[in-house]
Amino acid sequence: MKIRFLLDENQSPRLKTALLRLNPTIDVLRVGDPEATPLGTQDPDLLRYLEVTQRLLVTSNRTSLPAHIETHWSAGGHLWGVFWVRPGVPIGRLALDLHLIWEASEAEEWVDRLDWVPL
């Protein structure tokens, strides 16, 4: 199964546009999109949404999210991956790296993995 991305609300909407320009078939949503969770969704609810919808999270939230991930895992939950965005990465570079990951891997490879992008 191909990776399905969810961009956290702290990611620019331009990232979604850049990804879709690289390949319009990439399944990418951003928090606040009509099909996604609303803006302001609390971390525990976001993690449950990610698990149910089998989406990999792309985020810069390294403040509150790590503790919520631990709680989610402790309760028996799983995630389809989390990518922490390195500070100061240009959107074009981030989009290229996400596209490469999407092209070269399958969603199942990222289950319960946390990693940094760019790699």
Q: Which domains does the chain have, with CATH numbers?
A: 4-117 (3.40.50)
Peptide bond into 118 cis (omega under 30): yes
Q: What is the dihedral of CA 92, 93, 95, 96, to 10 degrees?
A: 120
Which tens digit of pLDDT belongs to each residue from 14-64?
999 999 999 999 999 999 999 999 999 999 999 999 999 999 999 999 999
pLDDT in tens, 84-107: 999 999 999 999 999 999 999 999
DSSP string computed for 67-107: HHHHHHHHTT---S-EEEEPTT--HHHHHHHHHHHHHH--G
